[in-house]
Amino acid sequence: MNKYIINRNKDNKGYNEVHITSCPFKPESYNQVELGYFSNAIEAVKHAKLLGYNADGCFYCCKEAHKG
């Protein structure tokens, strides 16, 4: 299981990107919100959406959950 975070800031398409904590493209710590541990990125993105984020997976570390 990986630990996931979400970017507080939206990207240029209006998404808050979900990353694993080891992703080299994750946001700075002051722009992160911890989501917790999940078995895959799809579950992490689903959880972030339940929290009210317009979530999408990172292209690099969460490809299976990347839509935009």
What separation in angstroms does the CA of 22 have from each of 5, 13, 25, 52? 10, 23, 9, 24
Percent of the chain with pLDDT over 70: 100
| pTM (global) more than 0.75 | yes
> Mean of the pLDDT values across residues 35-64?
98
- In this predicted structure, the answer to whether residue 68 has a pLDDT above a threshold of 90 is no
Reduced DSSP (H G I as helix, E B as strand, rest coil) percent helix, strand, coil of the chain, to 5: 25, 35, 40
> Mean of the pLDDT values across residues 8-19?
97
- In this predicted structure, the answer to whether residue 46 has a pLDDT above a threshold of 90 is yes
> Mean of the pLDDT values across residues 3-22?
98
